[in-house]
Structure 1
Amino acid sequence: MVFQGIQIHPSDASGMMVEQVGEYNEAVIPKAPLVAELPRPPDQAALVQAVWEKPRHGFVKANCDGAWLVQTNTGGFGWVIRDFVGWMMQAGGQGDLRYGSALAAEVDAIRAVLIACEQGGFARVMVESDSLIAIQMVKGERLVDAEVDGLIFDIQAMTREFQEMIFIHAPRSCNQAAHEVASFVSRNGGIHHWDLIR
């Protein structure tokens, strides 16, 4: 094949075309953000930025967050467990999961952090999530959506395995570490676990 006086082998020409199509697609097709990364309206309580607070003495605080991409119905969850002095003990998450909604990802994140707490041998746990609806459903303050009914049942059954369990809703600014883990595993896929106490 001759192009503008230069002889090009057909396999090189097809490789260049594929490369150009890839560059075009990257330039034209915007990368869709995860639902968890979209801007949210400010919290109703105040415009003052809240910060993460240590749990009570003898407790661990387990922050969790779900991530969901509406265009593909895929996502994942991330969680971080810290002790009562604020020291990070464990973190983990999983990507490549299919969910029908952001709520399903958030509830699955709560279930996953309870499993991690149970496996870690933590008896007194404060679970913190930035999903008010998920926390209300777990606490029995809101009617459970049929899509997450099985997950809520599991969570409520698991809570009986702990000496003390407290569920807390927190603004996203208090859940930043779990949010970062959820975003990472959702983009990279797979199962991840970081154990900092062993």
Structure 2
Amino acid sequence: FHRRIFCVAVWAIWGDRNNRLHNKGSKSAKEIGRFVISYISELDSVAKTSRRSSTTVKEWVKPTDSFIKINFDAAYVRGQNKAAIGVVARNEEGSFLLSCSEVHQWVPSAFGVEAIACRKALQIGVHMQWDRVIIEGDSLSIIKKCKTKIPDKSLVSAFIHDIHQLSVYFKECKFEHTPRSTNGLAHNLASEAMKSSRGVYLVGRAPGVAEIQAEIDKVREPD
């Protein structure tokens, strides 16, 4: 604490000296002292807020207004070019409509498999003939690319093009980013597919490990 006071005080005195040299006025010793105390208090307040924010775990939120929320995620083994995707669709009651996982070979990057997972989420929505969907994943880069209409020129441009083409089949299609903590169900599906080297396609339910995660989500779901 005393070291912080010393450092801030030296910084404040140095700044006051520069102000005097450039004819911008100067502060009295009391004013500098009050500034140092105020500045340290502000730093402490910011630190407390940051700690509270970092420990706040957001939870999966049910869709509203007759939307179907389709979460996607991916797992990737670097060096083997092996990947798996997980997709789960739920309605406004939080009930399972469909769960799916696939194993993919020769995928060049984790970024690429996230795009594949996102495309699969839309393909499922189109196949099931859902009108209003929310496509939700924890890959911020992929979600941003899906939201923009500017032609993509990255290594996943072909997948993003497919996603844009598929999105026009819905009356409404929203892309939303979510933290990993709220995307556990899709993540577990992808991880289990990677471990077992096989995928699943289940209508109206999810595999055992995903069902356990879903029950946890329901307990955490705010009223």
Which range, TM-score by smaller chain?
0.7 to 0.9
Scaled by the length of structure 2, the TM-score of the pair is 0.65
Which structure is larger by alpha-carbon Rg, 1 or 2? Answer: 2
The answer to whether residue 130 in structure 2 is matched with residue 122 in structure 1 is yes
Matched residues in 2 for 1:85 and 1:96: separation?
A: 32
1:81-123, CA deviations, whole angstroms, 9 ceiling, x for partnerless residues? 0001111110001014321111101110000011111111111
Task: Sort the Cα spacing of 1:165 and 1:45 in 2 relative to 1 into closer, same or farther, 3 A.
Answer: farther
How many percent of aligned residue pairs carry the same amino acid? Answer: 28
The answer for the alignment partner of 1:183 in structure 2 is: 191
* Structure 2, unaligned runs of 5 or more: 1-49, 206-223
Q: Secondary structure at the match of 1:112?
A: helix
1:57: how far off? 2.3
Task: Sort the Cα spacing of 1:142 and 1:188 in 2 relative to 1 into closer, same or farther, 3 A.
Answer: farther
Give the conservation status (yes or no) of the 8 Å contact 2:68–2:130.
yes
* Structure 1, unaligned runs of 5 or more: 1-42
Q: Give the partner amino acid of 1:46.
A: S
The answer to whether residue 58 in structure 2 is matched with residue 50 in structure 1 is yes
Q: Secondary structure at the match of 1:146?
A: coil
Task: Sort the Cα spacing of 1:132 and 1:143 in 2 relative to 1 into closer, same or farther, 3 A.
Answer: farther
Q: Secondary structure at the match of 2:72?
A: strand
1:141: how far off? 7.8
Q: Secondary structure at the match of 2:80?
A: coil
RMSD: 2.2
Q: Give the partner amino acid of 1:116.
A: I
1:77: how far off? 0.5
Matched residues in 2 for 1:146 and 1:100: separation?
A: 13
1:150: how far off? 0.4
Alignment coverage as a number of residue pairs: 155
Q: Give the partner amino acid of 2:63.
A: P
Scaled by the length of structure 1, the TM-score of the pair is 0.73
Q: Which has the higher strand share?
A: 1
1:191: how far off? 3.4
1:7-46, CA deviations, whole angstroms, 9 ceiling, x for partnerless residues? xxxxxxxxxxxxxxxxxxxxxxxxxxxxxxxxxxxx9993
Q: Which has the higher helix share?
A: 2
* Aligned with 1:80 (options 83, 88, 101): 88
Matched residues in 2 for 1:142 and 1:106: separation?
A: 19
